[in-house]
Every structure is written in structure tokens, then in C-alpha cells.
């Protein structure tokens, strides 16, 4: 919490410094009104003077702590508020809405300006929604309970006879089908809660999720579970790049991209990552080829 405040303070200072001297290519200079966006965002949000952000219901750790994004605790909560601040919105001008994972990336008008729920940027989704630049990059990982045949796997071949489960409609499920290619068809669930229930009931041997979620599941949500390993980026597998999801061709995207670029440059994003996800990146590597 304290680190976050410091980060924000640093960000604010840098922003002011940037405003003062640089010749930025876009018009993201001093806030237009008192904490209600800047010149870029003017007229591009759903509601004037408000930034409406969407996330999952419930929103899981370590992305949002205690399902309370307003607390600014959790990696994605922190990123959301950092972007909002960068765009000139005060905390009070940020409004949260909850959506299902799937419905956020389906075609149709959105009830948010942008949504973040560990959405991986991919071409198929780009046909129906627009993404910001990536704010986080991670790998797929495997979670299993003690005694599972997945424990100790170091290559994909070791996982061939494992019964997998994953959330339907995610890149994790695709990963199982296209990269791991186990002999038994995986089970699909409406959400990770279902996958966890199945894991505990020993109906599946392992779950595939993104690495930070894998750590959270293993450390907090399930007893006796561990992260078996992560799949690194390689020729056959691309890492998951998380992007903020917008209405298709929403002009707000460019404003947000500029904000994200600034947050990356000034180290805020790295700081947030370090705060919320630092202990969640060390897992053995499972070779893919």
C-alpha cells in the first residue's frame, strides 16, 4: 500500500516534469479539469468526466485483492488506477463495473471504457474488440495437487497422459489443445472455480492458467497444490500479452497507449509488477519441443 502511494507520487512528479519540458507527439499535457481526464480523453469516454473500468466478477488475486478493485490493491487494480492517473483522472473519477470474461470480448457495445481481466491479445479477439498495448506479459503454467501424475514434469512429453482442465474460451484451453496435445481431451469449465473444484475432486490432474494465477491458486486457494512449471516463450508458443480491452476502434485506445508507454518509461509499471507479482515468477520451465 505504501509502496503504491510512493509509486504514484513518483509518477505524478515525473508527469509534471514531463509536461514542463518535452515536446510529446500527442496532447496528453496537463489535466483539463480537476482530475476528470485530459485533452486526449475529452469526449471519448462513456460518461463525461468519468473513467469506467470493467473487471471480472469476482476478480481474483493477485490481480485484484479481496475482490475490491476500488482498494487499488492487486496488480490489475493498481495498473488501472495508474493508467487513470496518467490520463488525468482522480481516484474519485474512476468507476468500476463487473462483466463476465467472455462477454467482454464479444462483439457489441460495451458498458465500460476499458476492461482488464488478464485478456491475452490475439488476432481472433482483435476482430471484435480493440486492445491497448500490452501491460503485462506472462507464460502459461501448470498447477497440480500433490500426488498428481503431472508433478515433476519437465517436458511436454511428460504431460501427455495427464488429464487437464481449463477455463473455456481462454488461451489456456487453446494451449492445452494446440501445444500440449494430451491423449485425453481436456475438461472445460465456465470459470477457474470450476476447474479448481474438479482438481480437488480429482476429476482432473492439472490446470493450465497464466503463471501469476497459478501461484495464487497453489499458494492460497488450494491446499497441497503446487506450480509444476511454466511454459516459456519459444518458437511454438507465444507468451500471453495482457491488454486492456476496448470497444472496437475506440479512439480512447491511443490515449491509453500513450499513458501506458509513459508508465513503462518511468518505471511505474515495473514497480507495480514488483509489488504484486514479484514472488510469482519463479517456476521451473517445462520444455515444449
Partner 1 sequence: MGTITGRRAAYERARKRRSTVVATVSSLAVVTAIVVLVPKMPRWDRVHESFFNGERFAHSLPRLLDAFVLDIKIFAWSMPAIVVLALLVAITRNSRSAALFPLRILTIAYTDIMRGVPIILWIYLIGFGVPGLGIERPWNSPLIWGSVALVLTYASYIAEVFRAGIESIHESQRAAARSLGLSSWQTMRHVVLPQAIRRVIPPLMNDMVSLQKDVALVSLIGPIEILRQAGIDKSKFANFTPYIAAAAIFLLITIPLTRTTDWLIERERRRTTGTRVS
Q: Can you name the residues that pair with 136 across neighbouring β-strands?
A: 242
Q: Does 127 bind partner 1 (CB under 8 A)?
A: yes
Rounded Cα distance between 77 and 55, Å, is: 9
> CB atoms < 10 A from the CB of 119, how many?
21
Q: Does 106 bind partner 1 (CB under 8 A)?
A: yes
Angle between helices 2-21 and 252-265 (to 10 degrees): 110
Region binding partner 1 by CB under 8 A among candidate stretches 13-21, 32-40, 48-56, 125-133: 125-133
Q: Does 173 bind partner 1 (CB under 8 A)?
A: yes
Q: Does 181 bind partner 1 (CB under 8 A)?
A: no
Out of 204, 217, 256, 259, name the contact with partner 1 by CB under 8 A. Answer: 204
Find, among 244, 262, 274, the residue nearest to 119 by Cα.
244
Q: Does 9 bind partner 1 (CB under 8 A)?
A: no
Region binding partner 1 by CB under 8 A among candidate stretches 27-35, 48-56, 136-144, 190-198: 190-198
Region binding partner 1 by CB under 8 A among candidate stretches 42-50, 112-120, 154-162, 181-189: 181-189
Q: Does 100 bind partner 1 (CB under 8 A)?
A: no
Out of 27, 185, 265, 279, name the contact with partner 1 by CB under 8 A. Answer: 185
Residues 6+ apart with CB under 8 A from 102: 168, 169
Find, among 118, 124, 128, the residue nearest to 276 by Cα.
118
Quick one: DSSP state of residue 189?
E
141 close to 229: Cβ distance less than 8 angstroms: yes
Quick one: DSSP state of residue 63?
T
Region binding partner 1 by CB under 8 A among candidate stretches 3-11, 63-71, 167-175, 280-288: 167-175
Q: Does 249 bind partner 1 (CB under 8 A)?
A: no
Indicate the residue among 189 and 215 with the shorter CB distance to partner 1.
Answer: 189
Find, among 196, 197, 206, 220, the residue nearest to 279 by Cα.
220
Interface with partner 1 (CB under 8 A) = 102, 105-107, 124-125, 127-128, 165, 168-169, 173-174, 185-190, 194, 197-198, 200-204
Amino acid at each position: 500500500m505504501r509502496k503504491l502511494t510512493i509509486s504514484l507520487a513518483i509518477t505524478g512528479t515525473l508527469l509534471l516534469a514531463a509536461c514542463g519540458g518535452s515536446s510529446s507527439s500527442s496532447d496528453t499535457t496537463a489535466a483539463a479539469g480537476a482530475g476528470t481526464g485530459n485533452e486526449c480523453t475529452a469526449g471519448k469516454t462513456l460518461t463525461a468526466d468519468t473513467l469506467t473500468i470493467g473487471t471480472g466478477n469476482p476478480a481474483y488475486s493477485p490481480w485484484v485483492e479481496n475482490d475490491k478493485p476500488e482498494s487499488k490493491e492487486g496488480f490489475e487494480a493498481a495498473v488501472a488506477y495508474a493508467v487513470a492517473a496518467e490520463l488525468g483522472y482522480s481516484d474519485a473519477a474512476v468507476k468500476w463495473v463487473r462483466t463476465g470474461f467472455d462477454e467482454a470480448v464479444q462483439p457489441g457495445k460495451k458498458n465500460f471504457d476499458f476492461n482488464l481481466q488478464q485478456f491475452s491479445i490475439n488476432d481472433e479477439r482483435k476482430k471484435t474488440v480493440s486492445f491497448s498495448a500490452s501491460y503485462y506479459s506472462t507464460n502459461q503454467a501448470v498447477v497440480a495437487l500433490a500426488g498428481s501424475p503431472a508433478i515433476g514434469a519437465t517436458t511436454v512429453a511428460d504431460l501427455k497422459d495427464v488429464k487437464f482442465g481449463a477455463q473455456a474460451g481462454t488461451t489456456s484451453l487453446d494451449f492445452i489443445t494446440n501445444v500440449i496435445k494430451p491423449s485425453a481431451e481436456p475438461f472445460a469449465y465456465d470459470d477457474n472455480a470450476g476447474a479448481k473444484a474438479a482438481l480437488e475432486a480429482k476429476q482432473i490432474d492439472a490446470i493450465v492458467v497464466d503463471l501469476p494465477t497459478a501461484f495464487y491458486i497453489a499458494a492460497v486457494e488450494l491446499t497441497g497444490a503446487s506450480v509444476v512449471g511454466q511454459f516459456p516463450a519459444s518458437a511454438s508458443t507465444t507468451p500471453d500479452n495482457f491488454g486492456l480491452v476496448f470497444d472496437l476502434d475506440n479512439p480512447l485506445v491511443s490515449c491509453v497507449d500513450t499513458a501506458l508507454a509513459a508508465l513503462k518509461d518511468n518505471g511505474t509499471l515495473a514497480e507495480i509488477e514488483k509489488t504484486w507479482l514479484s514472488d510469482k515468477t519463479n517456476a521451473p520451465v517445462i520444455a515444449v519441443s
